Amino acid sequence: MTPVFDATRCVLGGGCVDVCPTQCLKLVTLADLEEKGYHGREIRFFLLGTHYRKPLSFSQGALETAKNTVRKLNGFVQRLMCLVPGEGYPDTDQCIYDVRQGFSAALDDDLNVSGALAVLFEFVKRIGHPLSQGLLNAKERDAVLETLKKIDSVFGVMSFEEERMPAEAARLLAERETMRKAGKWEEADTIRRKLAEMGIEVRDFPEGTVWSLR
């Protein structure tokens, strides 16, 4: 199968780093960013946000945006992995074709990473609709995941490992689901906050509840 994009054909250079004037003008290392809670994928996504011909503008806000975007992408992957198969969505193949073509075209255009990311986000939006309605079947889910893996072979910002939570957190999550079914929303929100304190983010979607490690 032809790859989405062959990164081996490219040589990259970089410009200067502009520090936001509201930030302290000092050297910032990867170790500094890791100490502040940023991981490799999040830092990489931040670096992808600037075209290689332009200076990189560093700011805490941009890092936070990158962190939240990576979290959303990984949350989407987890939703796919936890999918309860449906009857199928007829436009899945077209969505996959469009993202593969658009992604390759963007990167072939002088490594237009911003354009490639826009194509990826549009794909997530289009697939998110049938996913929320429980329409995707297992074969379509696997095809979507395979497409995301090929895209991520270029970006390296997504995780495709199924996340596991501690036993106590799993117990609380199950208890929260019981409260939700009983319409006890305050109790369910209390448990959500307890899980957040344990570093577990819980989000509710039409197809079910999805959790992720912060």
Q: Name which of 40, 41, 43, 51 is nearest 12 in CA terms.
A: 51
- pLDDT band per the 50, 70, 90 thresholds, residue 11: very low
Domain 13-155 = CATH 1.10.3470: no
* 137-154: pLDDT as tens digits: 999 999 999 999 999 999
Contact yes or no for 65/109 (Cβ under 8 A): no
Checking 20-25 for CB contacts under 8 A at 24+ apart, the result is: 20/57, 20/58, 20/59, 20/60, 20/61, 22/59, 23/58, 23/59, 23/60
For residues 112 and 119, give the distance between their C-alpha atoms in angstroms, rounded to a whole number: 11
**3 state SS of 17:** strand
| Structural element, H or E, at residue 60 | helix 60-81
C-alpha 130 chain-centroid distance: 18
Beta bridge mates, 75: none
In the chain, DSSP finds a helix count (H) and a strand count (E) of 8, 4
Contact yes or no for 211/200 (Cβ under 8 A): yes
Q: Which pTM was predicted? A: 0.72
* 39-50: pLDDT as tens digits: 889 999 998 888
Could you state, in order of their start, the residue ranges of all structural domains in the chain?
13-155, 167-213
Beta bridge mates, 58: 19
* 52-89: pLDDT as tens digits: 778 877 788 889 999 999 988 998 998 898 888 999 99
Torsion angle (degrees, nearest 10) of CA 186, 188, 194, 200: -140
When the pLDDT of each residue in the chain is averaged and rounded to a whole number, the result is 84
Measured over the CA atoms of residue 63, residue 69, residue 75 and residue 77, the dihedral's sign is: negative
For residues 199 and 193, give the distance between their C-alpha atoms in angstroms, rounded to a whole number: 10
Q: With 0-12 CB in 10 A as exposed, 13-18 as middle and 19+ as buried, what is 198?
A: middle
* 186-213: pLDDT as tens digits: 999 999 888 888 778 887 877 677 776 6
Contact yes or no for 5/107 (Cβ under 8 A): yes
For residues 28 and 209, give the distance between their C-alpha atoms in angstroms, rounded to a whole number: 38
Tell me, what's the pLDDT at 24? Answer: 47
